[in-house]
Amino acid sequence: MCINQESSLRMMDSKSRYLFYYVHRHLAFREAELSALMGMFGIEWNVRHDSKARDALRNSPFCVVDYASIEDVRKVASRSVLLRNCCMLWAEAETYEELYGKLRLQVNSYKRLIRWKEPFKFNVESFGKKLNMEYKQNRFQELAFLSVEGEVDLNFPTNQFFLFEHYGMNLGKPTDQPIKLYFGHLVVEGQSKVPWRYDLKTRIFIGNTSMDPFLSFLMANIAQVSPGDFVYDPFVGTGSILLSCAHFGAYCAGAEIDYNVAHGRGRPSRSHMMCRLPEESVRRNFEQYNLLSRYVGIIVADSSVLTFQPKLRFDSIVTDPPYGLREKVTCIGERKQRNKLVIHAGPHFPSKIKYDLLSILLDLLNFAATYLKIGGRLVYWFPVGLSNCKTSIYPQHPCLLQTSCCLQSLSGIHGRVLLAMVKVREPEFSVDKAYIHQDKHDFREVVLAGKPKSAA
């Protein structure tokens, strides 16, 4: 965007409306991402939706922000990976007659805000219905009354105008006519293309449970990761989550109990490979994306007993704890208790025991309550059975306040919830411990299967 146009847009900071247009993926995460980014930048917006339903943003790819400054809009767009683009909204209506009427009344006032004689491009976008080129060209002709004076440039236009048609969320069965129409001038693109640069198919080091790049970036945004933050992943694996945090300028560290994973050894995850390559490692992933300056390091450690210096504080803890579905979950321990201490003079690999799901989650919350700064965020995945997805099974801690939860269905039976919590005070170690309302007996089966194990 040119300097003159940018200065003109600032004139409408206190009066402008903006249309946010989202990509059609991870619908349940839109509200949480937008809310987290608004909180991170200290923004208070009046956000309107097509419907008044509680999960309105999930049911529509559009939302309107009233009385927003263009600087704030650009801040959010610079981080949001679910936002396709944002337009200054010139008019919205339910029929074309109403839309064109509003545009005719307001077009002269908007002409002053942009360089009207610069090259331009018209775009017709639809949601819920595929439009053919003939239909789009007819819409272009109908907009001739705007009298844009520049030349048409489909490749590098200075001005882009968008006409959006919303045909509802009943995909495959669109309404005959659009249920909502929007017209606006493009202000800024979102970051929806960024996660594709971190595609797992082209990444050097991956594992069976490497996090999807889109979800990794959503975790970083919901954790409000900022440049210069110190971020920690206690179950780091191949480092997928930390890569997204490093992309946003954070310094990243992690722990991994599996020696082979931490050092890039063992069986490869790619089907066409017989063994792992020597260069496969978390560090090499950071090098691949030119993020090595943000890599603090990872340690081979058991997160159930790991302790740091008492004064150490992380800005965020972002992780995907193992829940035993696709990998073994272990911690250091003895199957049989010894009566006396055994001192090993040479190299020693400690034995491991089963690490149950309840202990993993409670240990994680206790760790976060200890090592997060006040205002720091814990963002982690919690496995659920879809028939038993209720807040009473979520772990809680007196020092951590839950800020959002987003459900991702993985099958018709199982799913997982992305939980975000913020630290509100320092713990009193004698009394402040993580807890859960669900009966501890067979916790994993209750959570994942949605019903308790029958007594036999």
pLDDT in tens, 146-188: 888 888 889 999 999 999 999 987 777 888 899 999 999 999 9
For residue range 190-199, list pLDDT tens digits in order: 999 999 999 9
Tell me the β-bridge partners of 362: none
Residue 7 has pLDDT above 50, yes or no: no
Q: What would the pLDDT profile of 333-346 be if each residue is shown by its tens digit? A: 565 565 555 565 56
Write down the number of H helices and E strands in the chain.
12, 16
What was the pLDDT predicted at 449?
58
Domain covering 195-449: architecture: 3-Layer(aba) Sandwich (3.40)
pLDDT tens-digit series, residues 223-256: 999 999 999 999 999 999 999 999 999 999 999 8
State residue 125's pLDDT score: 94
- The pLDDT value given to residue 9: 47
- What does pLDDT average to over the chain? 85
pLDDT score at 452: 45
Give the whole-angstrom CA distance, residue 159 versus residue 13: 19
Q: Residue 107 — pLDDT band, cuts 50, 70, 90?
A: confident
**In whole angstroms, how large is the CA radius of gyration of the chain?**
26
Domain layout of the chain by residue ranges: 3-192, 195-449
Helix (H) or strand (E) holding 88: strand 83-93
Highest mean pLDDT among 102-111, 141-150, 397-406: 397-406
pLDDT at 445: 63
pLDDT single digits (tens) 114-126: 877 889 999 999 9
> In this prediction, what percent of the chain has a pLDDT beyond 90?
55
Give dist(CA 123, CA 347) in Å, integer. Answer: 66
pLDDT score at 148: 86
Q: CA-CA distance, 446 to 361, in Å (whole number)? A: 15
Contacting residues for 390 by C-beta, under 8 A, at least 6 apart: none
* Closest listed residue to residue 122, CA positions, set 141, 100, 98: 141
Confidence tier at 385 by pLDDT (50, 70, 90):
confident
pTM for the model stands at 0.87
pLDDT at position 3 is 41
Confidence of residue 322 (pLDDT cuts 50, 70, 90): confident
pLDDT at 4: 44
Regarding the domain delimited by 3-192, which CATH topology (the fold level of the hierarchy) does it fall under? VC0802-like (3.30.2130)
Contact 280, 207 (CB under 8 A): no
Model confidence pLDDT, tens digit, residues 269-290: 666 666 677 788 999 999 999 9
Of the pLDDT bands very low, low, confident and very high (cuts 50, 70, 90), residue 298 is very high
pLDDT of residue 12 exceeding 80, the answer is no
Confidence band of 261 (pLDDT split at 50, 70, 90): confident
Is the pLDDT confidence value at 99 over 50? yes
Q: How far apart are CA 359 and CA 364, in angstroms?
A: 8
Which amino acid, one-letter code, is at 431? V
- What does the pLDDT read at residue 453? 46
| Residue type (1 letter), 348 | H
How many CB atoms are closer than 10 A to CB 222?
Answer: 26
Q: Which of 61-70, 313-322, 447-456 has the lowest mean pLDDT?
A: 447-456
